[in-house]
Chains A and B, each alone.
Chain A
Amino acid sequence: MNMDEKEKAEEETKESEKEIITYNIKPDDITITVKWEFGNK
């Protein structure tokens, strides 16, 4: 194995060892308000 291949193999090992992060996204609640007008305008 030459130097390039060795470096590449080491890089791949580092990549595979990289820890997977889990993010948590919290969507904001939403509210719909209906405005009703009664009677004739």
Chain B
Amino acid sequence: MAGVKECSTGVLDSIFGYLFASTCRIMVTTSSSPTLLAGASSDQTPCIVQSTVGGYPTTDYFTLGSSGNNRYCTISACSCDTVLHSGMAACVILFNVTCSEVMYVTTCTTQDLVAANKCNVGTWTITVNQPT
């Protein structure tokens, strides 16, 4: 009989603990593979929207939840930030304001944004599954 692989929700939540201990912001960027904050917001790949919503201790910005034995974190929506530079939105990044670390990168439906308009960034989730 095969053994069961499993870990506690506390272990899975510890991944989000790192996120909660950081002051974060959301950035929409034209870069398709932003690994460094400098690259995501350079002249070549301009940051087009940067939220002013802070992370922890704004605890309601992140919400933990469960799906079966998996855990997820919902990142709240950011409403109506100003588009700083025109460009094609390709990625959304969650970065640490203090040390400029790009913590999470996700894709979004590409959309052409024009500077000086407004942009809402909807909710999204980061799920940590049980081990396989």
Contacts and interface: CB of A to CB of B under 8 A. Distances in A.
Nearest to A34: B131
Interface stretch (B30-38, B55-63, B104-112): B104-112
A32 B119 contact: no
Interface in B50-102: 75, 80, 83, 89, 92
Given A27-B92, A27-B108, A32-B127, A22 B120 contact: yes
B124 A26 contact: yes
Interface residues of A, number: 18
Contacts of B128: 31-32, 34
B117 interface: yes
Contacts of A5: none
Interface string B112-132: 011011111110111111111
Interface in A1-41: 20-36, 38
Contact of A32 (B75, B108, B122, B126): B126
A20 B118 CA distance: 7
Given A23-B118, A36-B131, 19 more contacts: A20-B117, A20-B118, A21-B114, A22-B80, A22-B117, A22-B119, A23-B117, A25-B92, A25-B111, A25-B120, A26-B122, A27-B124, A28-B124, A29-B126, A30-B124, A32-B15, A33-B132, A34-B128, A38-B5
Interface of B: 3, 5, 7, 15, 28, 49, 75, 80, 83, 89, 92, 104, 106-109, 111, 113-114, 116-122, 124-132
